[in-house]
Amino acid sequence: MKPFAYVKPADVAGAVRAVSGEPGAKFLGGGTNLVDLMREGVERPDTVVDVTGLPLDTIDELPGGGLRIGALVRNGTLTADERVRARYPVLSQALLAGASAQLRNMATVGGNLLQRTRCPYFYDHAAACNKREPGGGCDALGGLNRSHAVLGVSGSCIAAHPSDMCVALAALDAVIEVESVRGTRRIPMTGFHRLPGDTPEIETELAPDELVTAVELPSAPFAARSRYRKVRDRASYAFALVSVAAALEVRDGAVTAVRLALGGVGAKPWRAHEAERILLGGPAGEESFTRAAEAELAGADVRPGNAFKVHLARATVVATLRELNTGEGTA
């Protein structure tokens, strides 16, 4: 990897000062994505600001029943937190479905939010990639695109967002707290990631000098009945072809609360607002689940390699909602 300066500030103020006015600086958390990309030469920071010494590694209660998760809480720690497992099982399950135990022990919540795509053309310097080199073109469009996104894509990028955690956070209406020398601000999770449009290299609303300090989960009692279902090419340790984060509350056969988000199919973690709109207040059942899934996927923009994802996503949404509705098949 390209040589870089390394600093390890002890507090948040020091960390954000270290990147202020330094466009070549990057925050480093667990390193599971950034170190890999640096070794591949995709990321080439001049300065690496190691934030793992910052006191942002606690999970705290919020007034009203939510949780505030420090940005440096390791994914593994988060999966095991009893409050998360009881109140937001979808989040614990999403994290456990991702990567391996070793990687979860390293990866931080903040880093996971900023995880970059697995598009093979993004990784390969011999290929054209607008995300890696803006304006360079996109070899995935007419290439091997089985793993690519079908929702929210553009003519310049069809890369899928790879995170499992983010899909659960999108479903849970999480809020991202960020800090810079200009102060603190809060960004709703559903607005945190950007669609590629003409600028696929810009992936989030985060300014280059802003540090993610925490993720807040608002109180969501119905989320106690939530589930993450991940479909992939092997039984474990693989990125999602399709994943579904869902929470469902049904009373007297009618949907009284629902949250739905999709992974593996979106250019960003995909909150299925349209499907939720159709489901809410209507009957809970195979027919409505299918209709909702189809409506959400109606706008899919597919290529030969990834057209199957529309069918797979529909089937996975329906199956996940069915399980939540009937309580079956939690294994």
Residue numbers at the binding site for another protein (CB under 8 A)? 1-6, 8, 28, 30-32, 35-36, 38-39, 41, 48, 50, 52, 76, 79-80, 85, 92-93, 96-97, 99-103, 105-106, 118, 120-121, 123-127, 139, 142-144, 146-147, 231, 233-239, 241-242, 308, 311-312, 315-316, 318-319, 328-329, 331
**Residue whose C-alpha is closest to residue 77's, from 59, 60, 65:** 59
Q: Which single residue is written with the structure tokens 């705290």?
A: 60
Q: Which contiguous run of DSSP H or E holds residue 78? A: helix 75-80
Helix (H, G, I), strand (E, B) or coil at 261: strand
Instruction: State the minimum distance, in angstroms, from the CB of residue 239 to another protein.
Output: 8
Residues whose CB is less than 8 angstroms from the CB of residue 252 and which lie 6 or more positions away in sequence, other chains included: none
Nearer to another protein, 194 or 225 (CB): 225
The two structure tokens encoding residue 161: 């967002």
Q: How far is the CB of 301 from another protein (least distance, A)?
A: 18
- Report, in Å, the least distance between residue 14 CB and another protein: 17
CB of 183 to another protein, least distance (A): 28
Q: Which is nearer to another protein, 8 or 291 (CB)?
A: 8
Nearer to another protein, 234 or 251 (CB): 234
Nearer Cβ to another protein, position 69 or 106? 106
Residue 264 burial by Cβ neighbours in a 10 Å radius (0-12, 13-18, 19+) = buried
Distances (CA, A) of 183 to 126, 177, 198: 41, 11, 29
Q: Specify the residue, 198 or 287, whose C-beta has the smaller distance to another protein.
A: 287
Residue number, 143 or 208, with CB nearest to another protein: 143
Nearer to another protein, 146 or 182 (CB): 146
In angstroms, what is the minimal distance from the CB of 211 to another protein? 17
Beta strands in 157-267 (DSSP E): 175-180, 183-188, 211-217, 226-231, 242-251, 254-263
Nearest Cα residue to 321 out of 277, 279, 268? 279
CB of 3 to another protein, least distance (A): 6
Q: Between vectors from CA 15 to CA 177 and to CA 28, what angle results, nearest 5°?
A: 80
Minimum Å distance from CB 205 to another protein?
Answer: 27
Q: 310 vs 112, 162, 218, 257, 265, CA distance in Å?
A: 25, 17, 31, 25, 8
**Looking at beta carbons only, is 125 or 186 nearer to another protein?**
125
- Long-range Cβ contacts of 236-239 (<8 Å, 24+ apart): 236/100, 237/99, 237/100, 239/118, 239/147, 239/162, 239/264
CB of 71 to another protein, least distance (A): 16
| 187 vs 230 by CB, closer to another protein | 230
Considering the complex, what minimum distance in angstroms separates the CB of residue 27 from another protein?
13
In degrees and rounded to multiples of 5, residue 277 shows phi and psi of -60, -45
Q: Give the up-direction half-sphere exposure of residue 192: CA atoms within 13 A in the CB hemisphere.
A: 29
Describe the strand order of the beta sheet including 59-61 as a list of residue ranges.
59-61, 67-70, 211-217, 175-180, 183-188
